[in-house]
Structures are given as structure tokens and as C-alpha cells.
Amino acid sequence: MQVTNIPVDARNRESTRHGTHGFPMAVYNSILSRNVLGYTRLHWHEELQFCAVVQGTVTFSVNEASCQLETGDGIFINSGYLHMARPLGNPDAGYICLDIHPRLLCGFPGSVLEQDYVLPALSDPVLTARPLYRKDPWQADVLQKIREIYQESETKRPGWELLATARVYEIFAAILCHHPSDDFRTRKWSRANTVAQRILSYLTAHYGERITLAQIAAYASYTESECCRIFKRFTGESIFAYLRELRLEQSVRLLDSTDQSISEIGENCGFSSPSYYIEAFRQQFHCTPFQYRKKKRS
């Protein structure tokens, strides 16, 4: 299973329901070339995320930090932090992804697990993410458990949820046991995460309008230069390059789900003219919006 076009709300929080209320865990096999833009866009969610790269090399970005992970490596991403993933080299690079709501780890409200382990981990500004490398013994064990959970979710043998949950507890315990100490730089990352989220919220809410850097900076309550610097470190690209891709992604939704004309879609998604929209679409997807729609509907 794979979410190829991540839906987000006005705060850029992913709105996909991962798992069910009774078992809040979802397991995905994400091949990045299948995503609309060829990568996993910047977003955040309440779920904890555990990933293991199974093909190629993937660059994961969390807060202002990025790491290149090869086949066999992986990463833990804490709840509430902006993150994205891009293929490096091979566009078909991919990874197993476990999205787990903290409720699964808590057991029940007020439990020792919730009060002494889960809630402190969720509120710890140091524990934003943890790259996992196959050459480190304890990390290799964690990565193996991630792959085992994926296999259990595929076969769905009787009791697989019990086996998967047991492995999740082991993974979470290993992460906490090897937790690094606090430092000033990570506390700064936490503040930058808030700024980046405000920038993304503004872009998501106003992508169909003419947007200026001054408007973005005013909404984020930071200077224009700081907004540009923080956003570049989070995404690896400029605010307006990201906005262009956001507009293209939204236009794909309209091409798929409406009968609006190409000109109407371009205008509704914030492109200044139909010709600019068509050229931007061609550069990104190697076809025109008309050709894309015709192929999808044939």
C-alpha cells in the first residue's frame, strides 16, 4: 500500500487516517517514482514514523537536518515534525514506512508507559529524528524488526497485530535507550520547525493567489531573509520553487477530479497565465496538462 499524493490540511498536517481506531498502525511500501511529484512532499503528522530503505538511496529531511540513507538503512521520525523524502539517483528508490499513533504505545490513558515513556518522548525537543544505519548492531536489529513488521502486515497471519505491536515496543525501547543528550542546536531546530510550519500553512492556504515574500514573513513573524534561510534548510529549495511544485500538485488534483478547462485550472492554482502553467507542467511531468488528462481518462 502507498499514498501517492499526500493530502494535507491548512496546517500542512497529513490528513490520511493511518490504520484504524482499534489498531492505529499503517504499513506502507513507498516507491518514490509513483508519487505525483516523484518524491514525498514536506508534511507532518501525529504518528511516529519508522522507515527502512529497501531500494536505492533516499534523502530524508527532518527539521533542518538531512541524511542520505542507502538500501538497508532507515530512520525514526518523531510525532509533529516536518519531514520529506527524495530519491537520490534512482527515481525508483523506495522504503518501508510504519506510521504508528502514540495511542498504540500508551496502552491506556494514565499508564506508566504513557506517563514515563511516550509523553516525555513526544515532548522532547532533542528526539526529532534518529537515522538508523545497518552497520551499527543495535540499529541493524531495529531495521530488521521494521522489515519483519512489514512482512507480518503482508501475510496477515492470525495474531499478526500482536507480533507487530511487540516488535514496535522493542523498537521504541531501543530508540529511547540510545537517546542522545540535550543540546542548544536541537532546541533551535524545534523553534525553526514552528516557523517552517507557519510558512507551509500560508502557502497551502493561499497558493491560488499572488503571494509575496513580505506576506509570508509577516505571517511567520520572522524576517524575509530568515524565512528563506529556514525554509531552504528544511526543503533544500526556495520558498517559491516549493510554491510552484505545490501549485502543480494541486493542478493535478483538479485535472483528475474536475472538468475545468486548462486555463481555469491554471488560474485557480495561482499561475499568472495559461502559457506559464502549461510550460511549468511540461517541465515537471514531461507532457502538457491536456495530454496528462487525456492519458488518465483513456
CATH code of residue 97 = 2.60.120.280
The CATH number of whichever domain residue 202 belongs to comes to 1.10.10.60
Number of domains in the chain: 2
Cα–Cα distance list, 98 to 26, 44, 51, 75, 92 (Å): 6, 14, 6, 11, 19
- Assess whether pLDDT exceeds 50 at residue 269: yes
Cell numbers of 20, please?
484504524
Q: What is the pLDDT of residues 134-174, one digit of tens each?
A: 999 999 999 999 999 999 999 999 999 999 999 999 999 99
Does some domain include residue 269? Answer: yes
Is residue 243 domain-shared with residue 107, that is, in the same domain?
Answer: no
Domain boundaries, position 38: 25-183
Does some domain include residue 11? Answer: no
Does some domain include residue 120? Answer: yes
Does some domain include residue 291? Answer: yes
Is residue 132 domain-shared with residue 142, that is, in the same domain?
Answer: yes
Is residue 163 domain-shared with residue 84, that is, in the same domain?
Answer: yes
Q: Decide which of 183, 198, 233 is a domain's last residue.
A: 183
> Which residue would you say has higher pLDDT here, 108 or 75?
75
**First CA to last CA across the chain, in angstroms?**
24
3-state secondary structure at position 259: coil
Contact present, 212 and 202 (Cβ < 8 Å): no
142-177 b/e (C-beta count within 10 Å ≥ 16 → b) = bbebbeebbebbeeeeeeebeebbebbeebbebbee
The model's pTM: 0.81
Contact present, 149 and 143 (Cβ < 8 Å): no
Is residue 214 domain-shared with residue 164, that is, in the same domain?
Answer: no
| pLDDT tier for residue 214 given thresholds of 50, 70 and 90 | very high
The most distant pair of C-alpha atoms in the chain lies apart, rounded to whole Å, by 60
